[in-house]
Amino acid sequence: PSPLDTAALLQFHKDGFLVLEHFFTAEECDSMRAQIQRVIAEMEVPPHCRTEFSTKEKEQLQAQGSSDYFLTSGDKIRFFFEKGVLDEKGNFLIPKEKSISKIGHALHAFDPVFKQVTHSPKVQELGRKLGLESPVVVQSMYIFKQPGIGGEVTPHQDATFLYTEPLGRVLGFWIALEDATLENGCLWFIPGSHTSGITRRMVRASPGTSTCVEFIGSEPTYEDNRFVPVPISKGGLILIHGEVVHKSELNTSELSRHAFTFHVMEAKDTSWSKENWLQPTPELPFPSLYT
């Protein structure tokens, strides 16, 4: 049976997100989890995480180093850590595999397992059912949401970070590699919030400024009661419209909430903002979703 009938498409256009339970098999999820453990085993801890925190100036350079590490991660596989996992000498207070927040942003291009998942026949079929003519993959991330310390993700719209003209051309594919529940930090959405544009953008700052990105516009306050939780079981896929408002809470449970997520842009008649933090590079032009 097709995962995407007309009713489901209508639901997606109405809500700005769509839950497709059991899109991937347990085996596919387990192979992604096993692969990420291999990636972690070979991880070199980035030097900026090891800098000793001492003077204010050093801390600024540290932030600069880590921001540069982030800015140039679009065509690499890089590691980002939760807050409070390093002591003042830059040593891990907990095992490194428990300290990672996410790995990004080019798993889809340079890791065989994640590449295969991103371009799997069922994902390509889904793209066609959604009417995507020339979809390209812009970024991917493995998110850990570690037990007890997996930080909250405040309400946001993906198009704030991945801006296109016109809007409405970016789509997130969010795959639960473990059950995502109220306790371990499932996603929450404001249904229908994808229809009124965006209020803020993250752009590359002008050269010579102390930060490498800055926000323009302002973030509204969203009332808590507008959010609905979207728990999903292992193997489920959530389609996320680029402008829908969503968040996740701190993981206070004893269980992790691993997810693999990637973003696709409809490249036909679309321009990718030159001010986005993420830019295609000669090493990695945005690859077509369709193979």
Domain boundaries in the chain? 6-272
User: Is 0.85 surpassed by the pTM of this model?
Assistant: yes
Reported as a single tens digit per residue, the pLDDT across 234-269 is: 999 999 999 999 999 999 999 999 999 999 999 999
- pLDDT value of residue 49: 75
- pLDDT value of residue 246: 98
The span from the first CA to the last CA of the chain, in angstroms, equals 23
- pLDDT value of residue 212: 86
Reported as a single tens digit per residue, the pLDDT across 135-169 is: 999 999 999 999 988 889 999 999 999 999 999 99
Reported as a single tens digit per residue, the pLDDT across 111-129 is: 999 999 999 999 999 999 9
pLDDT mean across residues, the chain:
92
Q: Which fold has domain 6-272?
A: Jelly Rolls (2.60.120)
Top-confidence residue, 178 or 91: 178
